[in-house]
């Protein structure tokens, strides 16, 4: 196996490989540095939280739209046949809670 390269070419290859190795070692050093690891973990957590909050917002928005659709006509007028019973239910539950609190205090 003969190498047709000149000593200068071999030396230039060695220099290039050393430079690439130094770059690789620098990159590894940055990747394994504790600050980099913590920063990456924080970024992953923030991304997960953002995605979760986004999904929660979409679900809440969908629920509110559904509730609004049940109590309001498309033209914006309230559906009294649904609003009145719901209001009576809320007032009744609040009244029962108030009575329950009074009985506990007495």
pLDDT at 103 over 90: no
- pLDDT for 2 equals 63
CA–CA separation, 37 and 43 (whole Å): 10
Average per-residue pLDDT for the chain: 91
User: Token digits for 60?
Assistant: 């809440």
Instruction: Give the pLDDT confidence of 16-27 residue by residue, as tens digits.
Output: 999 999 999 999
- pLDDT for 1 equals 54
DSSP assignment of 19-87, as one string? HHHHHHHHHHHHHHSHHHHHHHHHHHHHHHHHHHHHHHHHHHHHHHHHHHHHHB-TTS-B-HHHHHHHH
């Amino acid at each position: 196996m003969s190498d047709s390269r000149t000593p200068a070419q071999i030396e230039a290859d060695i220099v290039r490989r050393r430079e690439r190795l130094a770059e690789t070692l620098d990159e590894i050093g940055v990747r394994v540095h504790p600050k980099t690891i913590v920063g990456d973990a924080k970024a992953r957590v923030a991304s997960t939280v953002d995605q979760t909050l986004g999904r929660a917002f979409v679900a809440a928005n969908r629920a509110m739209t559904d509730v609004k659709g049940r109590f309001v006509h498309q033209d914006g007028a309230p559906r009294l046949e649904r609003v009145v019973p719901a209001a009576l239910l809320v007032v009744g539950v609040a009244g029962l809670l108030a009575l329950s609190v009074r009985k506990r205090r007495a």
